[in-house]
Homo-oligomer: A and B are copies of this chain.
Amino acid sequence: MPTFTRKVPEGDDRERLTCADCGYVAYENPKVVVGSVVTAADGRILLCRRAIQPRQGYWTLPAGYLEMNETVEEGARREAWEEACARIALDGVLAVYSVARLGQVQVIFRGHLAEPDFAAGPESLEVGLFAWEDIPWDSIAFPTVIWALQAWRETGTAPAPARLNPASDQRGVHHLPLEGAL
């Protein structure tokens, strides 16, 4: 296993993880998560119950890390396919969230099922469609899922500006359960 220490590389202005064995500088960059609030023809929302940690057993949107050589749209469609075996179409950017605590940027789309079928992928215990009043709010995996569902509800179907972090957590540092007015 490599041993990393923190030091400032030549020409840089902050400490970076550097391998003591080989000198490799492991720049830590924020990672991009892509996902979507996907609706069926009847307006119900697609949610996935996580089969993996963190937050195993909790419900989330189809979402995950963007890969290299992939656009954000391609990544969001791939994640819906991998986690929910769902073919989806995207309807614009719903929100761009920052989770500074984790070094994440989340690009969340509105989307709809392009084909009616779906099923649990390998990272999901189950996948289901939920009417708004049936969403399992007490069993949601991450704050950004709650934010995205709320943004989806508030913006309606008309084209709307992309949402950013709510005023109650502008830097994305809170854990669940969320406090305040969501």
Give A contacts to B, CB under 8 Å.
1-3, 14, 19, 21-24, 26, 28-32, 65-74, 92-93, 96, 98, 100-101, 103, 105, 107, 159-162, 164-165, 170-172
Contact = CB atoms under 8 A, between A and B. Distances in A.
A153 to B, nearest CB: 17
**What number of copies of this chain does the assembly contain?**
2
Given A161-B159, A161-B161, A96 B93 contact: yes
A71 B19 contact: no
Residue among A14, A98, A170 facing the most chain B CB atoms (10 A cut-off): A98
A148 to B, nearest CB: 14
A9 to B, nearest CB: 13
A70 to B, nearest CB: 6
| A interface: dominant SS | loop
Contacts of A21: 21-22
Contacts of A172: 71
B28 A30 contact: no
B72 A96 contact: yes
Contact of A22 (B22, B31, B73, B160): B22
Contacts of A2: 19, 22-24
B105 A105 contact: yes
A73 B164 contact: yes
10 contacts: A1-B22, A2-B24, A3-B22, A19-B24, A21-B21, A32-B32, A69-B100, A72-B98, A73-B170, A105-B105
